[in-house]
Amino acid sequence: MFRAARPFIFRLDAERAHWLTVHALANAPWAAGWAADPVDDPVTLMGLRFRNRVGLAAGMDKDGIALEGWQRLGFGFAEIGTVTPRAQPGNPKPRIFRDVGSEAIINRLGFNNGGVDACVQRVARHRAKGMLVGINIGRNKDTSPEQAVDDYRYGFEAVYPVADYITINISSPNTPGLRDLQAEAALDGLLGALADTRARLADAKSVHRPVLLKIAPDLDDAGIRSAAAIALKHGIDGFIATNTTIARPPGLSAKVSGEAGGLSGPPLAEKARHVLRTLRAECGTSVPLIGVGGIDSPEAAKARIADGADLLQLYTGLVYHGPGLVSRLARAVSTS
């Protein structure tokens, strides 16, 4: 079905196609027919039982409007967001660009979302449905660097009751100054504040939520190791490797490569794999790692597991290869 529909989908503006797809999944039970048989290959990490190792990456469904749809497509888990304390429109359009020849995407969406409180209400309604949901949090664009910790603390407190895990996003290239939070002193301050917040919430609500840190692919090895050490010091449970890259590897079309924003898809894969391997070497075998970035085939999925990933996430591969990719990858890395 996707193969027949793809030429028509790709004639649409990339952002319009994106949101039409998400809304179709949110409102059309027949969308289950887009997927192959869902794969049950349970894996337990961070005290959570994932249906299989393949999840939806943050950015595809920022507001969590299609959670039942992602579950029907066979995902083992879904990460929604990035959500911010206050709703915001994001950056001016156009802001998503396909590079069909390399099966890549450049986006500069800029955390467009309806705000964390509306997102929490949707996730709360989904909680009894069975699929694990992580929520990815960030700061508002107009929040000053000095107040960034307050935004993260607000988001953390808001999602804590309903998220199965929480991801701290300090690595998007599309919010000015956000990646500055990866610097040692800033990261230490932010994660220290959130560790205190989690301890208070865990005591008050009698539940411990796992917390992950999403790493940029553009950090050098020293930066990766420093971020890992600081995160582990503050009790971060795992890492997502990686966000999109500001690099422009060879092979992109001239028209698309000149666009500002974060690059995803196969041209990101080698950078993402390097960060993943560096994190695994730094953290040992006990820290959960999620691999994301250019995973678009069973062979790529197996390679990322071999690099040290415990779980995988998809976004751009889903755009180019359709929902059947979910089950193909989950079956490829199944341990059963």
Is 254 strand, coil or helix?
A: helix
Crossing angle, helix 298-307 and helix 269-283, to 10 degrees?
30
pLDDT tens by residue, 204-228:
999 999 999 999 999 999 999 999 9
Mean pLDDT of the chain: 95
Between the alpha carbon of residue 274 and those of residues 271, 293, 309, 317, the distances in Å are: 5, 11, 12, 19
Question: What is the reported pTM?
Answer: 0.97
Whether 260 contacts 109, CB under 8 Å: no
Written as one letter, the residue type at 335 is T
Tokens of 88: 């915001």
- CA proximity to 94, closest of 105, 82, 81, 83: 105
Number of domains in the chain: 1
- Specify whether the CB–CB gap between 64 and 223 falls below 8 A: no
Q: What's the Rg (C-alpha) of the chain?
A: 18
Confidence of residue 335 (pLDDT cuts 50, 70, 90): confident
Sign of CA dihedral 25, 26, 31, 37: positive
Q: What pLDDT, in 10s, does the model give residues 269-310?
A: 999 999 999 999 999 999 999 999 999 999 999 999 999 999
Q: What are the tens digits of pLDDT across the range 125-169? A: 987 678 999 999 999 999 999 999 999 999 999 999 999 999 999
Cα 130–chain centre separation: 19
Instruction: Please report, for the domain that includes residue 276, its CATH number.
Output: 3.20.20.70
Q: Which are the catalytic amino acids?
A: 172
Q: Which domain holds residue 140?
A: 2-332
